[in-house]
């Protein structure tokens, strides 16, 4: 069975700081990888996805993620965070079956 | 365009009761998936339906069942409710096949007392 591990459950940063959220997955086959975001009071939204090709993928709102196959990782990055980035971030993997396996999430708080 | 819609928004039930949750996918999407999100956790996959057939099932007991209708809307049924079934139930719709992007609805908050 596949699993997803998000290393940081709570992260607090100041505006303009750089962000990196860790995500590791366990699945030996071909995977599709996703980062979803849940802003306060809103539903889950897709930030970015990886299917194949360039391992560095860019998403909405200045976010990017790098797929490192040898490390089974898909870390999320943003060079300079804003107060509006305060949200819950979920890493997810699709491997084989059609359902997504999510990590437990990282609660990100940006202080103005 | 309308996104994924779910009803009801909130629901309070008593242990042992039965509940039905409903989901309408994005127009043109033929696949619907259901997830359970317990407070402080990521969503857990329950079912996926495509063209009215079950295509995937997560690790949930038989008390959980679902179906998909000809218009691609879906229902999730939970029998013999337990306190531990209290959660946010999310519906996601997608097209079949790549890129496998799932679009989530706002969820139904179920509280079992």
pLDDT tens digits, residue range A9-46? Answer: 999 999 999 999 999 998 877 889 999 999 998 999 99
At residue B99, does pLDDT exceed 70? Answer: no
Cβ contacts below 8 Å, chain A against chain B, sum to 60
Indicate whether B40 pLDDT > 90: no
Nearest to A103 among B42, B103, B105 (CB): B42
pLDDT over 90 (residue B13): yes
pLDDT of residue A14: 97
CA A28, B92, A107: angle at the middle one, nearest 5?
70
Q: Which residue of A has its CA nearest to B104?
A: A44
Nearest to A85, CA basis, from A4, A5, A19: A19
Average pLDDT of span B17-35: 95
What distance in Å separates residue A53's CA from the closest CA in chain B? 13
Give residue A101's pLDDT: 92
Q: Work out the number of other CB atoms within 10 angstroms of the CB of residue B69.
A: 13
Q: What is the reported pLDDT for A98?
A: 63
Average pLDDT over residues A60-88: 96
Among candidates B40, B45, B99 on the partner chain, residue whose Cβ is nearest the Cβ of A99: B45
pLDDT for B5 beyond 80: yes
Q: Judge whether residue B69 has pLDDT over 70.
A: yes
Confidence at residue A13, expressed as pLDDT on a 0 to 100 scale: 97
Confidence tier at A97 by pLDDT (50, 70, 90): low
Give me the pLDDT at residue B100, please: 76
Compute the half-sphere exposure of residue A19: CA atoms within 13 Å on the CB side of its CA: 29
Q: Which of B91, B89, B77 is nearest to B20 (CA)?
A: B77
Query: Could you tell me the pLDDT band of residue B2, with boundaries at 50, 70 and 90?
Result: confident
In the prediction, which pLDDT does B56 show? Answer: 87
> pLDDT at residue B98 above 60?
no
């Amino acid at each position: 069975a596949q699993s997803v591990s998000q290393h940081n459950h709570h992260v607090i940063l100041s505006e303009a700081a750089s962000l990196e959220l860790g995500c590791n997955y366990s699945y030996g086959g071909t995977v599709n990888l996703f980062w979803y975001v849940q802003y306060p009071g809103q539903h889950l939204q897709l930030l970015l996805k990886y299917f194949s090709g360039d391992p560095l993928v860019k998403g909405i709102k200045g976010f990017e993620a790098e797929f490192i196959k040898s490390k089974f990782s898909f870390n999320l990055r943003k060079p300079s965070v804003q107060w509006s980035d305060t949200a819950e971030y979920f890493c997810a993997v699709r491997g084989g079956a059609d359902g997504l396996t999510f990590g437990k999430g990282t609660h990100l708080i940006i202080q103005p | 365009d309308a996104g994924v819609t779910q009803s009801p928004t909130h629901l309070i039930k008593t242990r042992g009761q039965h509940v039905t949750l409903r989901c309408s996918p994005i127009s043109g999407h033929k696949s619907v998936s259901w997830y359970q999100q317990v407070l402080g956790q990521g969503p857990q996959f329950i079912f996926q339906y495509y063209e009215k057939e079950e295509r995937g099932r997560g690790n949930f007991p038989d008390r959980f069942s679902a179906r998909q209708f000809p218009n691609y809307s879906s229902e999730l049924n939970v029998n013999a409710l337990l306190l531990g079934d209290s959660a946010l139930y999310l519906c996601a719709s997608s097209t079949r096949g790549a890129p496998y992007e799932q679009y989530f609805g706002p969820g139904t908050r179920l509280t079992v007392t």
